[in-house]
Chains A and B, each alone.
Chain A
């Protein structure tokens, strides 16, 4: 699950070279959208992806165009602050509009589960996992085969070369951001059947996403997915070793260690310091 969120983040970083703090906020908004679609219009969360995905793709593009693009040449840390500001705005907008109570999306199959060997598998989680893999594969294929996808990869690797090749870099950047946002919104939708919806959910996923992205290598999409897997594993491992929420410590420690010693990520291909 973390993997999909991280994929989007990795994409944004690879192309735009900024660390998008607002990523988690977008996911949160995606979850809220799913919630409202479910509550008001009785749309099944999985089906609503058809709406949510493209909608946030567009939103992402809009955000990129209006807020981020004009500041493209600003100092790195300023861009970071920019996305931070964005995140603050979005998170608290949600807080103001919908208040902080937890909400849940409970479609009929929410509690469905079956036993696989010795483990209890919950259907919604399985679907989310599967959905994430499907999306990641789709993203991968998109990047490899379509023109737009190749343009994105070109831009990520060789910004100046891409410009010279006549690629409309401004548009591509917006698209990349849009895709990243769409991905994460979809991730949000996939998660709603088993995760609570509240303005601050974005934050916890945000941090995890950063950890995953760094682990997998910034800009390395496959690495992001694998990284997501590792983080999930680490978290579970931590849960068995340490009580309460201390399991997060394992993940954070891993994060710090990777940042210190292998900032290009465990799988390389990322941009180091």
Chain B
């Protein structure tokens, strides 16, 4: 009961406090929400299905570029472009996933392949004039128009990403209690035994992949609209992939709140470290590395694992 109250308060704070926060904090909060969102999307495939993708940037980039290109060239509102990007990303995810799963790639091999795919997309983007090559694309400063996903000020962006993050969390929760969720967990634990128990491993993994990639792509569009600039390195580069999985791992892969918790912990750490050691890029990522090593060594189930004593996996609650 205590946990629910806490969650309620947190939610209330997230909804009501931001208009009163100084811009710097709002920015951080937006980052937290974005990373938490990406972590949650990654979590579906990584935490639940146990397939650790190191190349989720591929979908992020597809989302970002699709909506931006549609917007810049055809004037399509990014809200729709977002969906288009999501569908495209899901298609690519299904393609990559089918190839990988059909040929039995598991564990590190799967991770490497996803990395390869993301890198391939990056290289293609860098070399394609139509998408701006390595200079990327800029969304010129147009009139703020909600219908075009352009807002004056940061607050509206915050609420958008908050909504997305909450949706992702809700989706994860629904997933956990569904047949798909149980199937994915079984696959994660022991794919052969799952098959023997009637779980269609290939089908379920593909579903997870489609969902995960779709959601990640939406995040890409948000990024594009918020920062108004994208390039191949930012969108297809390993940094996005790592960010996503980091939140989930640190917070607790395979849990509903893990990615968000992870984001709430990691982002301030990153910000503080950057502030503390000014002028030296990379301190925050360095700390990420340390945190990752520490978490894997001492808290393999992430921060959520603390709820049930160290090192115990968080339980899937049955209601």
A and B touch in the complex (CB under 8 A): yes
Q: Does A81 contact B (CB under 8 A)?
A: yes
Please name all residues of chain A whose beta carbon is closer than 8 Å to the beta carbon of B292 when the two chains form the complex: 81-82, 84-85, 88
Q: Does A113 contact B (CB under 8 A)?
A: no
A67 and B293: CB pair below 8 A? Answer: yes
Q: Does B113 contact A (CB under 8 A)?
A: yes
CA–CA, A60 to B127, complex, Å?
Answer: 37
Query: Which of A31-39, A93-101, A132-140 forms part of the interface with chain B?
Result: A93-101
A19 and B296 in contact (CB under 8 A), knowing A92-B286, A244-B126, A248-B119? Answer: no
The smallest C-beta distance from B283 to any residue of chain A, in angstroms, reads: 5
B282 and A96: CB pair below 8 A? Answer: yes
Please name all residues of chain A whose beta carbon is closer than 8 Å to the beta carbon of B289 when the two chains form the complex: 84-92
Report B241-296 residues with CB < 8 Å from chain A CB: 242, 245, 249, 277, 280-286, 288-293, 296
CA–CA, A117 to B112, complex, Å?
Answer: 40
A252 and B111 in contact (CB under 8 A), knowing A82-B293, A85-B292? Answer: no
Report B117-136 residues with CB < 8 Å from chain A CB: 117, 119-120, 123-124, 126-127
CA–CA, A82 to B296, complex, Å?
Answer: 7
Interface size of A by Cβ–Cβ distance < 8 Å?
50
B119 and A207: CB pair below 8 A? Answer: yes
Q: Does A237 contact B (CB under 8 A)?
A: no
CA–CA, A89 to B99, complex, Å?
Answer: 32
Most A Cβ at <10 Å: residue of B100, B116, B281: B116
CB < 8 Å: which of A85, A99, A214, A249 contacts B123? A249
A88 and B286: CB pair below 8 A? Answer: yes
Interface of B is mostly: helix
Please name all residues of chain A whose beta carbon is closer than 8 Å to the beta carbon of B280 when the two chains form the complex: 95-96, 99
CA–CA, A214 to B52, complex, Å?
Answer: 18
Q: Does A57 contact B (CB under 8 A)?
A: no
Closest to A203 in B: B238
Query: Which of A71-79, A142-150, A227-235 forms part of the interface with chain B?
Result: A71-79
Q: Does B75 contact A (CB under 8 A)?
A: no
B283 and A96: CB pair below 8 A? Answer: yes
Most A Cβ at <10 Å: residue of B282, B283, B300: B282
- 1/0 per residue, CB under 8 A from B, across A31-72: the answer is 000000000000000000000000000000000000100110
A88 and B288 in contact (CB under 8 A), knowing A245-B126, A245-B127, A259-B109? Answer: yes
The smallest C-beta distance from A236 to any residue of chain B, in angstroms, reads: 16
Closest to B290 in A: A89
B112 and A214: CB pair below 8 A? Answer: yes
Please name all residues of chain A whose beta carbon is closer than 8 Å to the beta carbon of B288 when the two chains form the complex: 85, 88, 92
A77 and B119 in contact (CB under 8 A), knowing A84-B242, A96-B286, A243-B127? Answer: no
Residues on B close to A: CB < 8 A?
50, 52, 54, 99-100, 103-109, 111-113, 115-117, 119-120, 123-124, 126-127, 238, 242, 245, 249, 277, 280-286, 288-293, 296-297, 300
- Give me 5 A-to-B residue pairs in the complex whose CB atoms sit less than 8 angstroms apart, sorted by A's number: A77-B50, A80-B107, A207-B115, A214-B112, A273-B106
- Extra contacts, 8 of them, besides A89-B286, A249-B123 (Cβ < 8 A), are A71-B296, A77-B50, A79-B296, A95-B282, A207-B116, A245-B126, A255-B112, A273-B109
